[in-house]
Structure 1
Amino acid sequence: MDFFPLYDKIVVIKIEAENKVGNIFVPINENNILKGKVLKIGCGKLLENGILKPLIVKKNDIILFKDNYNIEKYKENNIEYFFLKESDIITIIN
């Protein structure tokens, strides 16, 4: 599936969280904070004055974001795609 996100939309796939550190199992995150990989980004945020502001996030960045009611999702072939705005991203992980 190939997506072409518009403006400040970002296409992300969820990275399954590892719930084991060594031989110790860690509880799954209960805050609905997900780890994801950026697949595609739009051209930028359109400001009120008509200027297009480039996005900070880039393709292949690993991010944390909160899964909430305003996040749009699409599932195909057991892959769940998330459509976010840059403002939905909590942090970029190095």
Structure 2
Amino acid sequence: MSSTVRWSLVFAGAVVVFALCVWAGDAVLPWERAERIAVGAGAGAVIAGLLGAWAGSATRPSPPPPPPGPGTGAVASGERSVAVGENSGVIVTGDGGTVGR
């Protein structure tokens, strides 16, 4: 689906959401007609704006992750060895699990 079609669908959805909010405000709220329509239009504008903000990130394709470079991963060789890239804590191997400091 092309970008133009996606944005056309987002625009049509925003218009529908705006119209539904204005209609719901006019049908449900207990105030004068002008106030009901104004509140519905305000709510519709906010929701349509949120839809447009979301669509800005949703319609843009995400770039593929870069492939890992050769030899960048840690290699563990041995029965109880641990392969880590960087370690900021304590790694305990063995059956006892006791750490001496």
TM class by shorter-chain length?
A: under 0.3
Q: Which has the higher contact order (CA 8 A, sep 6+)?
A: 1
Name which one, 1 or 2, has greater alpha-carbon Rg: 2
TM-score (norm. length: structure 2):
0.21
TM-score (norm. length: structure 1):
0.22
> Is the helix fraction higher in 1 or 2?
2
